Amino acid sequence: MGGEFHDTVVRSTDPPVTWSLPANRWWGGPHLPHRANRPAVRLIVSADGRGCRRFVVVMTQLPIPVPADVERWVAQHLLELSCDDEVQRSARFMGTQAEADEALAALDILGYARRRNEVLPEAARGATALSPYIRHGLLTLPEVSASVATAPSKDRQKFRDELMWQEYARHVYARLGEHTQHSLRFEPAVDDPGRPSGDAWDRSMACLDAALGELERDGWLVNQTRMWLASQWTVRHGRAWRDGEDRFFAQLLDGSRAANRLGWQWTIGAGTGKPYGFSQWQVAKRAPGLCEECARRDACPIEDWPPERQLTAVDEDRRLRIDPDVEATAGPLDVRTTAAPDTVWLTAESLGDADPALAAHSDAPVVFVFDEPLLRHLRLASKRLVFLTERLAELATTRDVEIHLGDPTVVLAGRKLATTFTPVPKARKLRAALDVAELHPWPWLVRPTSGSVQSFSAWRRGRGTATLTR
């Protein structure tokens, strides 16, 4: 094990192991595990004043969680990186392939076109609640779309339209990346001196309390209540939409920057110039009886339509009109191999049994890295971490799985990886820094083209064949 080691930053979950070696010499031998079985390590080198160097080895590999003990495992290894003081799991969703498959098998969209926006009673809802499984690749958009082939045409069309919206969001995010944190076409008014005082999400209002309670309990919301909360945050209270979007992202099991950001931009008018005006009318229509239970029913702060607020047009990113690098956005059409891989690298976007890289290498070890620097920044709700861990625990019952906490570029260095292309900016950066020996195509519902993504309608018109010129 020769050569020079560089100091890297990786979190320690076990007590560090230290030993001293003669200065100016690099040792291997029995002190360090064989490469094939070696967890990722950090080596810190310092002089001890006696002509020796002190090496500190920090392990990043975590023990495999037991399916029945996931909450304790998250509490021990990940809780400090979350926004919670104690571990909470979703009361409704479990992050396993078995649960995803069961949900898809039970899918019935009869009446979806008529009921998709209903909020209460829950039995009246048309929403399918498949989004947490889709977001993490336990179900793919193509297989979900195919599963409703025999449904009534009106319901099938409306349901597939919603799947297409999810695909559109992925196209926009894959093309624009972090630019999606900026308003795409219009900037809503914020910090308006005339805005209402107090908490934008006033829980004395039954409609907001019900929505926030479900978000905190389940980590999921129907689309209608997402729109209520987003509109209340920005349209009525003039708060910065990025702050509200961050709060959603931390709690939602289906939270992705693609769908979450685009949903907020549409609701508050940043994408269309036409904000969604949340008012008592929507509550009475979509959640009958809720207003009657509200402590504010006699002085409802949303009784009337919200005042119109001016949106300022922004300079559009030229990539909204044309993609200068479609291959980078869409990934490979076919498997791209440069060497024989020795490890399958799974990401949070593609954890299902049908992940192309996972399916192609049934005997290879599988590695997943909880990205510590990213998690420390995001501060996700613990229910999101539980959901991911449930899937990893399940997968480890049938595959040889390694789970790490650290910097993926350090943990995965030196491995020849088989992985599936994922349409997110961070994954693109990681792939560029690692030895990806085999890259599998992403399972697009509709493969990206160079055409306009200025709006959903423009994208749909050009998604098959249109290619705009400069």
Q: What is the pLDDT of residues 99-120, one digit of tens each?
A: 999 999 999 999 999 999 999 9
What pTM did the predictor assign? 0.88
Question: What is the mean predicted confidence (pLDDT) over 144-167?
Answer: 98
Confidence of residue 190 (pLDDT cuts 50, 70, 90): confident
Q: Does domain 332-440 have CATH number 3.40.50.360?
A: no
The helix/strand/coil state of 231 is helix
pLDDT tens digits, residue range 13-61?
Answer: 444 444 433 333 333 333 333 333 344 454 444 455 555 555 555 579 9
Confidence of residue 400 (pLDDT cuts 50, 70, 90): very high
- Whether 379 has a pLDDT exceeding 90, the answer reads yes
Minimum mean pLDDT range among 7-21, 330-344, 372-386: 7-21
Average pLDDT, the chain: 88
Tell me which architecture the domain covering 186-313 has in CATH: Orthogonal Bundle (1.10)
Tokens linked to 241? 């939409």
Sorted by sequence, the CB contacts under 8 Å of residue 367 that are 6+ apart come out as 343, 344, 345, 346, 401, 402, 403, 404, 411, 412, 415
Question: What is the mean predicted confidence (pLDDT) over 249-273?
Answer: 96
The predicted structure's pLDDT at residue 199: 87
- pLDDT more than 70, % of the chain: 85
pLDDT tens digits, residue range 428-447?
Answer: 999 999 999 999 999 999 99
The region, left, alpha or beta by phi > 0 then psi within -120 to 50, assigned to residue 152 is beta
- Whether 281 has a pLDDT exceeding 90, the answer reads yes
The predicted structure's pLDDT at residue 198: 80
- Whether 240 has a pLDDT exceeding 70, the answer reads yes
Domain boundaries defined on the chain: 17-59, 97-179, 186-313, 332-440
The region, left, alpha or beta by phi > 0 then psi within -120 to 50, assigned to residue 466 is beta
Q: What is the DSSP string of 371-392?
A: EHHHHHHH---HHHHHHHHHHH
Tokens linked to 137? 């690749």
The pairing of strands 343-345 and 417-420 is parallel
Q: Is 253 exposed, middle or buried (0-12, 13-18, 19+ CB in 10 A)?
A: buried
Confidence of residue 191 (pLDDT cuts 50, 70, 90): low
Phi, psi (degrees; rounded to nearest 5) at 107: -60, 125
pLDDT tens digits, residue range 81-104?
Answer: 999 999 999 999 999 999 999 999
- Whether 11 has a pLDDT exceeding 80, the answer reads no
Phi, psi (degrees; rounded to nearest 5) at 25: -130, 145
The predicted structure's pLDDT at residue 462: 81
pLDDT tens digits, residue range 192-226?
Answer: 666 677 889 999 999 999 999 999 999 999 999 99
